[in-house]
Chain A
Amino acid sequence: MKVATGGHKKIKDLHPHEAIAPGTGLCAGCGGLEGLRLGLKELGDDFLICNAAGCFTLLSVYPFTPLKGSWLYTTMGGPVPAAQGVRDALDIRMRYRGLEEKENLQVIVVAGDGSSNDIGFGASSAAIHRGLDFIYFCYDNEAYGNTGFQLSAASPFGSATQTTPSTYVHEAGTEINKKDLFEIWKAQKPAYLATVSPREPIDLSNKFARARALKGPRMFICMSPCPTGWGFEPKEAQLIAKLAVDTGIFPVKEYFEGEVTHTVRPRKRLPVEKFLERQKRFQHLFEPHRQEDVIRQIQKRVDEYWRNYE
């Protein structure tokens, strides 16, 4: 079994470095920010983030930046082409213009699920195809969070968003399934591909430590509980992330050299209700009456997934 290891075994092994200064305008309790913070701890300060428009637009608000490294802001569809441009510029300058190796930067794309699954999807597929040397961090809060939580291709079946509320005609809310970005990216065989949860800091850190040492496209999908959009108290963000893992809804896994490994396995999978019932976006499944068929379908999909791995 090939398991990522950066040698971290307990919380105290986490890298003490903080690459993100406090003071950002992101919501209190943001799960995506926690994921990025833990990831950047491993990557050091020599990076350039190409940031797609989205919630993380708020990372840097002129004239302030929370990052010790560089940040380039792009349109929602543009972070990967921007990363290609930056990578090429660095390579050309190192090869022909005498830029020293120590001035090299790790090029990181930070994009939300909207950019990753919809608008910027084609560009990331093309970049993996070309073997672009970069790290891709997708913070997945399962909708267009920054504009008020509208449906994205990552919104799960049965959730309510601004554009797919539960109505008399469409009682379940979102009636289509979440796009399986992991499987789509996996089909293109990137150098490294992993899902990470902010509730599993050691697993997350090990994966970033491993990715740092590799070359080529290294893709991350980070489960990002969103207090504002999902409808729960900010203090429960990590509890929700934990329940997503424990119910099996969000499998924590990695793909490396042709093999998929589940790095954090739920010991005994909890019923999906435990995850759903705490969030306002699923409240219509329980009130005013229980939508048993929808809950059962969600459970069935999770069971079918795990049947291959348990």
Chain B
Amino acid sequence: MWRIRIHGRGGQGIKTASQILGSAGFYSGFQAQDFPLYGAERRGAPVIAFTRISEDIILERGPISSPDIILIGDETLLNDPQSAPLCGAEPTTLIFVNSSHTPESLSQKFSLITANLNDLCLQHLNNRTVYSSALSAVGARLLGNIDLQDLLQAVEDELTPHGISSSALKGNLDLAREIFASLQPVDILRKEEKVLTAKSLVLPSQLPVVDGAPIILEPGNMALRKTGNWRVERPEIDYEKCNNCLICYARCPDGVIGIAPDGRPEIDYDHCKGCLICAQECPGHFIHTVREMGTFP
């Protein structure tokens, strides 16, 4: 069995990538299983999806803790403690990162492969952060046992129910084809199948309500959670031209644009989610956007 774990952010097509990869494996004659895992947070928040592909019937269920391949769609996740994309990686685990950096500069520790999918996505889909077709094509190619035709069929079958236009579908197919051709299959050392045994039943004990109820006594402590790494692009205020009209301050849904003592708007980058409403709404277009280079500047 091959176990593939895909990491990305809500809105990037990570769940769909696992579906395409699963379907492609199935069309290539394998048993397949795919499913996503995410909490209630969505767009921008870390998302994980899983695909299992096997010659035999798949009895294993649940999240994959030690994958054979890890596909990382968003490099800013690499040292995100909540997402922990490298968790469970072993020396034999193949790690793919969507990045403009070389594997050497990222790590000496894992079998890393990188390619910059953003530019290809931009070229074919006119959107640099939708990775569903791109990442599934990477997975299919690295596995080496999935045919291009099956992959393309899966892309079409999985994307059509989303109601995409024929031109967008063509873009996705071209993108998958180009990525498939640009990578080489990798020989993956397969782990021994684990013997699955059930744990004995643990009976829960009941606590009094006061101990068990979630009571928060620290007002406004949500600020301890940094949502700044949700950003794909960073808004930057051009203070040379800014006339302190404060429209950006009024329009920011998360209230992360504060007012400095001298009356200038100031962006709190620890928490800015990168919705870019400020850049869109600035009357003089004095806020420009800069692509985040993530954790490895």
Residues of A within 8 A of B (CB): 11-12, 14, 16, 18, 20-31, 33-34, 37-38, 45, 57-58, 60-69, 71, 146, 160, 165-166, 198-199, 201, 227-228, 233-239, 280, 283-284, 287-288
Contacts and interface: CB of A to CB of B under 8 A. Distances in A.
Contacts of A16: 259
Interface residues of chain B: helix, strand, loop or mixed (majority): loop
User: Would you list the 4 A-B pairs with minimal beta carbon distance, nearest first?
Assistant: A29-B275, A22-B271, A66-B222, A235-B276
Interface of B: 10-11, 39-45, 163, 165-166, 214, 216, 218-227, 230, 245-247, 249-256, 258-259, 268, 271, 273-277, 279-281
Given A23-B271, A24-B222, A64 B246 contact: no
A33 B165 contact: no
Given A11-B247, A25-B40, A234-B43, A65 B220 contact: yes
A64 B224 contact: yes
A69 B163 contact: no
- Between A62, A67, A234, the greatest number of chain B beta carbons within 10 A of the residue's beta carbon is seen for A234
Contacts of B247: 11
Contacts of A21: 220-223, 255
B156 to A, nearest CB: 16
B126 to A, nearest CB: 12
Contacts of B280: 235-236, 238-239
Given A26-B254, A60-B222, 12 more contacts: A11-B246, A22-B227, A22-B255, A27-B44, A28-B230, A28-B275, A63-B214, A64-B221, A65-B222, A165-B163, A234-B277, A287-B165
B216 A62 contact: yes
B259 to A, nearest CB: 7
8 contacts: A14-B249, A21-B221, A23-B271, A29-B277, A45-B219, A66-B223, A235-B280, A283-B163
A161 B149 CA distance: 32
A64 B163 CA distance: 38
B163 A68 contact: no
A238 B225 contact: no
- Between A28, A62, A166, the greatest number of chain B beta carbons within 10 A of the residue's beta carbon is seen for A28
Nearest to B127: A233
Contacts of B245: 11
A11 B263 CA distance: 13
A66 B220 contact: yes
A235 B279 contact: yes
Contacts of A66: 220, 222-223
B225 A64 contact: yes
Contacts of A236: 280
Nearest to A25: B41
B281 A238 contact: yes
A30 B251 CA distance: 11
A238 B219 CA distance: 29
- Between B249, B275, B280, the greatest number of chain A beta carbons within 10 A of the residue's beta carbon is seen for B275
Contacts of B44: 27-28
A12 B246 contact: yes
A236 B280 CA distance: 7
A69 B216 CA distance: 11
Given A34-B253, A235-B277, A27 B227 contact: no
Contacts of B219: 45, 65, 67-69
Contact of A24 (B214, B249, B250, B254): B254
Contacts of B214: 62-63
B255 A58 contact: no
